[in-house]
Amino acid sequence: MGAGVAGCTAAILYGRAGLRVAIIEKHRNISTHKALCGHFVLGGTQPMLRRTGLWEAMADAGAAVGDIARWTTAGWFVPEPGPPECISLRREKLDPLLRTIAAGTPGVDLLLGRTVTGLLESGERITGVRVGDEEVPARLVVGADGHRSPVAQLAGVTEDTAPNERFGLWAYYRGVVPRGPAANQVWSLDPDVGILIRTDDDLHMLVAFPAKARLADFQADRAGELERFIASLPDGPDLTSAERVSKVIGTNDYPCVRREPAPRPGLVLVGDAAITGDPTPAVGCGWAFRAAEWLVDSTAPALLDGGDLRTGLAAYRKALDFVVGHDRLGRRDALARPTNPVQRLVTKGVHRDPELARRAYLFSMRAISAGELMNPRTLLRALWAAARPALRR
């Protein structure tokens, strides 16, 4: 269910594994896309995208590729050459691209303009879905239907929600002249966050994620406030020749949601349906791509030979622990509280110790687990590093 990032990726990979898949998508038009998405895919997803050929497909469709520099109160933090780069293709191009690849994959039927309205059930087990009067039986129903997940609601899955104390808004511009280092830039102003992303068609996205206390300031003139916010950032871009080419898009409230990924026999959730995190660190599409691959790797063998799915689903749940670890920290950050002494210590450390800087960068790209950065060894290293002079970078 759902022909978004997670649904299309899972369908493509299941099809390639030799399975038959029906993707049921409520939108009629292959080009209807998710508007509320920054589509900046962090470098930690690059290996998966390259393995599956999706990286090349996105690059051929004009995606912008580049690294990312972060500004904190201790100054710019610029990556060493080497870590995997990020990729950005607007959803108006990405969604139709993924749907076209899925529809062209042997074994995959893309059924547009169909809304799932009910589930087929046999006791606790889900045995398929109902689309209006039509019944679609399935060995495994994959809920890839986004953060509200109608399929999870129909199955009575409980939600674990957490507040998000920032709101977000952005627009696309032509003619932006960046002044900071790296192709993409993030400013962590503690608690407000500003982002400049280079994307396809030579456009830049100007993004603001201010704390909700400032919501009223942005209501009267959203475009003007967004531009003033971005222009006032340290080393912020030159907007004098910039022209806005889209309306201002945004959300005033986007809570974090987690659901049990394999809640009932015959049903599994992937992408936002399983974990909707804080959008500020730009993680959701990357998680959707990667979780779809973990799901297919874990369950395709049993689906192919008609075996028991329980072991595969347990492996999928375990793989998702990687996301849950980051999501726990993400939920804390979404409270938009001033950074705590441990965070300040690590931030100071990364400006003084190249190894700590490398690890923090990989963490921010979601290329290593949360535990690989947040552990006693890192804290000791940060304590030691804090006593040294700052690196020149």
With beta carbons less than 8 A apart as the criterion, state whether 151 and 278 touch: no
Number of residues interacting with ligand FAD: please give it, by CB under 6 A: 37
Q: Please identify, using beta-carbon distances, which residue of 346 and 370 lies nearer to ligand FAD.
A: 370
Pick the binder of ligand FAD from 12, 27, 70, 103 (CB under 6 A).
Answer: 27
Site pattern 64..103 for ligand FAD (x: CB under 6 A): ----------------------------------------
Instruction: Figure out which of the listed residues 87, 144, 320, 336 binds ligand FAD, where binding follows CB under 6 A.
Output: 144
Interacting positions 309-338 with ligand FAD (CB under 6 A): none
Q: How far is the CB of 174 from ligand FAD (least distance, A)?
A: 19
Residue 44 binds to ligand FAD (criterion: CB under 6 A) = no
Cβ distance to ligand FAD smaller for residue 2 or 15:
2
| Per-residue mark of binding to ligand FAD, 264-283 (x: CB under 6 A) | -------xxx-----x--xx
Residue of 73, 161, 251, 252 interacting with ligand FAD (CB under 6 A):
251
CA distance 36 to 200: 17
Instruction: Decide: is 227 part of the binding site for ligand FAD (CB under 6 A).
Output: no
- Minimum distance from CB of 113 to ligand FAD (Å)? 9
Q: Under the criterion CB under 6 A, does residue 285 sit at the interface with ligand FAD?
A: yes
Query: Shortest approach of ligand FAD to residue 273 CB, angstroms?
Result: 6
Distance CA 339, CA 196 (A): 22
Name the CA radius of gyration of the chain, rounded.
21
* Under rule CB under 6 A, residue 351 binds ligand FAD: no
Site for ligand FAD contains 288 (CB under 6 A): yes
Residue 195 beta carbon to ligand FAD: minimum distance, rounded to whole angstroms: 8
Q: How far is the CB of 115 from ligand FAD (least distance, A)?
A: 4
Site residues (CB under 6 A) for ligand FAD? 1-7, 24-27, 34, 36-41, 115-116, 144-146, 150, 168, 251, 254, 271-273, 279, 282-286, 288
